Amino acid sequence: ELISSRGIWVLLETQKACKKKKGKLVLVNATDDMLKSFEIAGVTHFIEIYDDVTAAVGSF
């Protein structure tokens, strides 16, 4: 299923809140539908997405 615009907004707002506290939000193992939603919304360059937890943890 595609992610709604509200769902994407929540992710972006959460990411913004994390950055204010010197943290970051990353996603792991996104489905093809999730990736398509991000591409349609034009936010792929704002959201870090990793294939596995090891890679995501390594990004910190």
- For the stretch 6-50, pLDDT in tens is 999 999 999 999 999 999 999 999 999 999 999 999 999 999 999
2 pLDDT band (50/70/90 cuts)? confident
Q: 48 exposed, middle or buried (CB, 10 Å; 0-12, 13-18, 19+)?
A: middle
8 CB contacts (<8 Å, ≥6 apart)?
37, 38, 41, 43
Q: Do residues 48 and 59 make contact, with C-beta atoms less than 8 angstroms apart? A: yes
Give residue 48's pLDDT: 94
19 CB contacts (<8 Å, ≥6 apart)?
none
Amino acid, single-letter form, for residue 35 = L
Q: How many domains, the chain?
A: 1
Where in the sequence is the domain holding 27, given as residue range(s)?
5-58
1 pLDDT band (50/70/90 cuts)? confident
Give residue 18's pLDDT: 96
Q: What is the pTM of this model?
A: 0.79
